Amino acid sequence: MIYLLGMPTKVVVGTSLFQIIVTTAYTTMAHATTNKTVDVALAVLLLVGGVIGAQIGARIGVKMKAEQLRVLLAMMVLAVCIKLGLDLLLMPSELYSIGAGGH
């Protein structure tokens, strides 16, 4: 969006976050209604943390230059890519463990 459409970096970051909110809200509702696999307390806790984090991020973002925001966004994307790549390559110690005890 920055390079192809010429949009300002701050608008691109906000648009990206809005798309993420819509996608995660739909996915959460779909899992809650079909599979009954959503922990409501955890969802509320994550929602509150996301709202607080968004407020802090918006205030920090206003003080940063567009180039700094681009670099920060690129570093975050690369970090997620590296994490996903490592998760594909490295074998976990226990494949099917959910709890701390593994039972």
CB hemisphere CA count around 100 (13 angstroms): 0
What's residue 82's pLDDT?
96
In this structure, is residue 97 part of a structural domain? no
On whether residue 34 sits in a domain, the answer given is yes
Give the pLDDT score at 14: 78
Per-residue pLDDT, 98: 67
Tell me whether residue 77 is in a domain.
yes
CA dist., res. 28 & res. 22, Å (int): 10
95 located within any domain:
no
- Which parts of the chain have pLDDT scores under 70? 97-103
Domain that holds residue 18: 9-88
> Structurally, how many domains does the chain consist of?
1
Burial class, 59, CB count within 10 angstroms (exposed 0-12 / middle 13-18 / buried 19+): exposed
Residue 70 lies in a domain: yes
Q: 28 lies in a domain? A: yes
Is position 58 within any domain?
A: yes
Predicted confidence at residue 101, as pLDDT, reads 53
Residue 43, domain member (yes or no): yes
